[in-house]
Amino acid sequence: MRDWEKLRAHHQQQVAQTYGIKTTTFAAQTGEIYMLPVFDGEPRLSGNWIVCGDVHLPTTDFDLAERMLEAAKCLNIRNLLIVGDLVNMEAFSQFEHIVPPPPFEVECKVAARFVSRLSEHFETMMLVLGNHEHRLLKRNNGNINATMLGHILSAASGKLQVSAYAYAIIDSYGTIWRATHQRNYSRITGRLGDQLAQKFQCNIITFHQHHVAQLMDTWGRYVVIDGGGLFDDSKMAYVKLIDSNMPAMARGFVILAYGTAYLMTPYPALTDWEVILAGLQKKSEKFDLSLVV
Ligand SMILES: [Fe+2]
Ligand SMILES: [Fe+2]
């Protein structure tokens, strides 16, 4: 607000000079230049990535997280993108609680340990923000920024980069993917991703909705993935203690390798881990050989 007032005063001074009017207010005489941010620095990544989101620490499916880590090791993928809702941040929720939430300190300790475990393998780890991280930023009126959040969450390893953005763009061997924790929700699987594909004209991996799906967009141009999450809804009081007509939550993450995205879920009828990992291993061996030649 203060910046705005100063900016307005500066503008008034400019206008006054243009019209030959002398202003006498103190603010108008400061003559300072104020820098406003321009939001055009979204993360732009390249190569092979493990893309996950909706971890919702500490209400997390740690078995699925371990399987994700094993898959990354098996394929030697060293980049991890976490697309929002890494930590629940219950202390900053605007919702009332029906069971006491863990203190923020406990959530931070779990997060530091989780990040540390992942950093044993991943060389690059990036978090883009979800609505649960925004709880902390909003409650503090923006006085805690993404960098400060990074310090809070990555105490154990210092490897996690935190972006102020809620999405990242990945150029994976010439194929463009936008991995996003958009603010909207649709109870219809695939619908939001379809709209985002049309808006941004690229392939989409969407989180936040806790659905899993892989489909082509309405116009058959782009691939849309609902990436699920690493949450464990059986630990979520608001999901399990009360019935609702909300869709059941579905878990998963995405392996983005050589331009193609593979939706990985714990559901055997949907994902055959052995076949996917064996096939990708073969592909990476071939790719490595082609680099040698
Ligand atoms: Fe979420
Ligand atoms: Fe979310």
Q: What is the pLDDT of residue 1?
A: 46
**Interval between CA 144 and ligand 1 midpoint (Å):** 21
215, 218, 213, 216: which is closest to 267 by C-alpha? 213
At what angle are helices 146-153 and 131-139 packed, to 10 degrees? Answer: 110
**Interval between CA 221 and ligand 1 midpoint (Å):** 27
**Interval between CA 203 and ligand 2 midpoint (Å):** 20
Q: What is the pLDDT of residue 20?
A: 45
Q: What is the pLDDT of residue 287?
A: 84
**Interval between CA 228 and ligand 1 midpoint (Å):** 9
For residues 173 and 48, give the distance between their C-alpha atoms in angstroms, rounded to a whole number: 8
Supply the CATH classification number for the domain 44-266+273-292. 3.60.21.10
**Interval between CA 208 and ligand 1 midpoint (Å):** 4
Answer whether 177's CB lies under 8 Å from 202's CB.
yes
Answer whether 80's CB lies under 8 Å from 163's CB.
no
What are the per-10-residue average pLDDT scores of the chain (293 residues)? 60 48 54 79 96 98 98 98 97 90 93 93 96 94 90 75 96 98 98 98 98 98 98 91 94 98 98 98 87 65
For residues 268 and 75, give the distance between their C-alpha atoms in angstroms, rounded to a whole number: 20
Answer whether 30's CB lies under 8 Å from 2's CB.
no
Straight-line distance from the first to the last Cα atom of the chain, in angstroms, rounded to the nearest whole number: 60
For residues 123 and 77, give the distance between their C-alpha atoms in angstroms, rounded to a whole number: 9
Q: What is the pLDDT of residue 15?
A: 42
Q: What is the pLDDT of residue 238?
A: 85
For residues 155 and 151, give the distance between their C-alpha atoms in angstroms, rounded to a whole number: 6
Count the neighbouring beta carbons within 10 Å of the beta carbon of residue 27. Answer: 16
Q: What is the pLDDT of residue 11?
A: 53
User: Residue ranges of the domains in the chain?
Assistant: 1-36, 44-266+273-292
Strands 212-216 and 223-227: antiparallel
55, 136, 154, 58: which is closest to 102 by C-alpha? 58
**Interval between CA 129 and ligand 2 midpoint (Å):** 9
**Interval between CA 209 and ligand 1 midpoint (Å):** 7
Q: What is the pLDDT of residue 280?
A: 97
